[in-house]
Amino acid sequence: MEILKIESTEDSPQIVLDRESNILEISGRSLPEDVNTFYEPMMSWIEEYAKDPLDVTVFNFKLTYFNTASSKIILDILTQFEEMIEEGHEVMVRWHYPEEDEDMMEAGEEYSEMVDVPFEMVSYS
Amino acid sequence: MESGFLEFVYDFYKSMKAHEIKLVYEGRVTQQITKAFIALTEAQMKENAEASTVQRKVFHVMVECLQNISRHADEYESGESQYAGKGIFMVSRTEQYWCVTTGNAIFIEKVKELKDMIEQINELNEDELKDLYVRQMREGRLSTKGGAGLGFIDIRRKTKKKLEYNFLPITDKVSFFLLTTYIPRTS
């Protein structure tokens, strides 16, 4: 599968989706002008990946900020993982948050309640 | 130049100082403007050693407010001017609060729906707000403009304060929608 790598900008996150190296990560800030257009390549990649995923899929969210429009996209991604689990695949999410950022921690906890996907909360300084 | 213009500028400057207005803008709100304003305000808050939790909340509120104007401000014509995606945006400060204020035109027929939505959000407690946010996220489809109606709920949840707003008539077809958000400086 092709590697999808998108560099971060001041209003959009870095995305690295690399099946061979087992790196699935989104990090940084997400407030792009048009979330649907920005996230389209990522959504397509994940859809393709879901057809033939790794034995264990670990997806890392390392966002420092996301706007409400992006929050809906994050739920769409998590819903895709939920479907993969229903199909018998093993998927887990690592939700990284700055240790002093309560809102980002709570956001992760809320997502973990919304979908049937195992979450590991990871704080960093 | 009009006579008294420079005196006006000086009075304007004094008003800005008195109200600690850190940023004021009138015009079209684009993504470039949004990025510039958050960078500017972030720099000011860092300089003032504002608590990082406060900085993050101000950042959140600014982004949602600016994107509200750019996506939802209605177009109306006054003489030769067009007002789509335009409005006023202001960031000010008091001892206790950072204050983010927006104002933009909105068609009269949309006022009731918007007002009802804000009133509903204001009356909910934290758990109810969370439920509403989740429901909107699940059910609310992103419009072509990208808004999901989540901004107001998010602002209310992040600040834990009621949304303060007003509608003032511009013409018989258009109202001016004002929204002020207070972000407490002690967290």
Which of B31, B56, B142 lies at the smallest CB-CB distance from A33?
Answer: B31
pLDDT band at B137 (very low <50, low <70, confident <90, very high): confident
B133, pLDDT greater than 80 = yes
- The predicted pLDDT at position B146 comes to 43
Give tens-digit pLDDT for B16-58: 999 999 999 998 888 999 999 999 999 999 998 999 999 999 9
Residue ranges of A 26-45 with Cβ closer than 8 A to chain B: 31, 33-36
Q: Where are the beta strands (DSSP E) in A67-118?
A: 90-98
pLDDT band at A30 (very low <50, low <70, confident <90, very high): very high
Which residues from B are below 8 Å from A11, CB to CB? 31, 34-35
Domain, as residue range, for B166: 5-184
> What ipTM did this prediction achieve?
0.87
Q: How many CB atoms lie within 10 A of CB B57?
A: 23
Asked if A72 and B148 come within 8 Å (Cβ–Cβ), the reply is yes
The number of distinct structural domains making up chain B is 1
Decide: B170 and B176 in contact? Cβ < 8 Å.
yes
Q: Which tokens hold the place of B63?
A: 């982004």
The number of distinct structural domains making up chain A is 1
B99, pLDDT greater than 70 = yes
Q: What average pLDDT score do residues B160-177 get?
A: 91
Give tens-digit pLDDT for A5-17: 999 999 999 999 9
Give tens-digit pLDDT for B61-81: 999 999 888 877 766 655 445
Which CATH number fits the domain that encloses residue A116? 3.30.750
Closest-CA residue of A relative to B157 is: A103
Q: What percent of chain B has pLDDT over 90?
A: 62
Backbone angles phi, psi at A3, to 5 degrees: -80, 135
Q: What average pLDDT score do residues B87-109 get?
A: 92
Give tens-digit pLDDT for B156-168: 999 999 999 999 9
Q: What average pLDDT score do residues A53-58 get?
A: 96
Burial state string for B43-55 with b = 16 or more CB within 10 A and e = fewer than 16? ebbeeeebeebbb
Domain, as residue range, for A44: 4-124
Apex B162 CA angle, A74 and B92, nearest 5: 90
pLDDT band at B85 (very low <50, low <70, confident <90, very high): low
Which CATH number fits the domain that encloses residue B93? 3.30.565.10
Which residues from A are below 8 Å from B64, CB to CB? 67-68
B29-to-B22, B26, B168, B180 alpha-carbon distances in Å: 17, 8, 21, 17
- The predicted pLDDT at position B145 comes to 46
